[in-house]
């Protein structure tokens, strides 16, 4: 059936294009996953916080390798796009940044990420989210990016707010975790929103209060 509204993003951007490397500032890069990353993914998923908020565990390096294979193939399917967040000097994995549940015809996607325990406290998550957000809006033409996290995860709330993802509301009992159903905060950025460089001046103390609450 013909569409009455043209697609925002052509599927060929993903189905026929190569996944790019995205700079994320000094010493940090978003790059396609490599099969050799499996041991570092396995190690990251031994962390209780990553297990809690992502509701999954890796039982072996071989299982992590299977995940990486799926992440690599997801790009050409145009539904998910997954990057390793890596130290640009050593190549070691410090986290993951992804656009999930992409609806290219509408220009929609969902931001997701994690940071390995040894790399926390260095501002890696906001830098990775900002780099992927800029690429999605400026290079590809996404219209709206969403970011969801449990209301019991204030760290992710701070990352979202720092990255310019406004808190739009709460999805009640929306995601099942190991300890039961969690309400989820819904954050989003829309093309044309303020850039992350101007956000601190525009949001001021109210944004900091909301991020801590």
Q: How many distinct structural domains can be found in the chain?
A: 1
> Would 21 be classed as within a structural domain?
yes
> Would 74 be classed as within a structural domain?
yes
Measure the CA–CA gap between 83 and 100, rounded to whole angstroms.
11
Give the tens place of pLDDT for each residue, 147-182.
Answer: 999 999 999 999 999 999 999 999 999 999 999 999
pLDDT higher than threshold 60 for residue 89: yes
Question: What is residue 196's predicted lDDT score, i.e. its pLDDT?
Answer: 52
- Under the banding of pLDDT at 50, 70 and 90, the label for residue 6 is confident
> Would 5 be classed as within a structural domain?
no
- Under the banding of pLDDT at 50, 70 and 90, the label for residue 55 is confident
CB 196 within 8 A of CB 130: yes
- Under the banding of pLDDT at 50, 70 and 90, the label for residue 203 is very low
Question: What is residue 2's predicted lDDT score, i.e. its pLDDT?
Answer: 54
pLDDT higher than threshold 90 for residue 201: no
pLDDT higher than threshold 50 for residue 207: no
Question: What is residue 100's predicted lDDT score, i.e. its pLDDT?
Answer: 96
The mean pLDDT of 40-61, rounded to a whole number, is 93
Residue-by-residue DSSP string for 154-174 = HHHHHHHHHTT-EEEEEEEEE
Question: What is residue 195's predicted lDDT score, i.e. its pLDDT?
Answer: 60
Owning domain of residue 19: 12-212
Q: Which residues contact 67 (CB under 8 A, 6 or more apart)?
A: 41, 58
Measure the CA–CA gap between 42 and 51, rounded to whole angstroms.
11
> Would 6 be classed as within a structural domain?
no
> Would 195 be classed as within a structural domain?
yes
> Would 3 be classed as within a structural domain?
no
The residues facing 167 across adjacent strands are 187
> Would 174 be classed as within a structural domain?
yes
**Mean pLDDT across the chain, nearest whole number?**
89
For residue 100, give the CATH number of its domain.
3.40.630.30
Give the tens place of pLDDT for each residue, 92-134.
Answer: 999 999 999 999 999 999 999 999 999 999 999 999 999 999 9
pLDDT higher than threshold 80 for residue 197: no
> Would 79 be classed as within a structural domain?
yes
The Cα angle at residue 150 between residues 84 and 25, in degrees rounded to 5: 30
- Under the banding of pLDDT at 50, 70 and 90, the label for residue 205 is very low
């Amino acid at each position: 059936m013909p569409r009455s509204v043209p697609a925002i993003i052509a599927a060929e951007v993903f189905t026929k294009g190569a996944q790019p490397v995205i700079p994320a500032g000094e010493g940090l890069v978003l790059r396609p996953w490599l099969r050799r990353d499996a041991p570092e993914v396995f190690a990251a998923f031994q962390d209780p916080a990553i297990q809690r908020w992502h509701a999954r565990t890796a039982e072996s390096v071989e299982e992590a390798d299977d995940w990486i294979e799926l992440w690599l193939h997801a790009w050409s399917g145009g539904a998910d796009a997954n990057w390793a967040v890596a130290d640009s000097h050593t190549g070691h994995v410090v986290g993951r940044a992804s656009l999930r549940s992409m609806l290219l015809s509408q220009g929609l996607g969902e931001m997701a990420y994690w940071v390995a325990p040894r790399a926390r406290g260095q501002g890696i998550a906001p830098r990775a989210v900002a780099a992927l957000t800029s690429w999605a809006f400026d290079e590809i033409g996404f219209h709206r990016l969403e970011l969801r996290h449990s209301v019991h995860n204030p760290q992710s709330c701070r990352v979202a707010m720092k990255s310019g993802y406004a808190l739009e509301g709460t999805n009640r009992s929306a995601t099942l975790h190991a300890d039961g159903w969690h309400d989820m905060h819904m954050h989003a950025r829309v093309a044309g929103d303020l850039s992350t460089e101007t956000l601190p001046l525009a949001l001021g103390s109210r944004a900091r209060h909301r991020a801590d609450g």
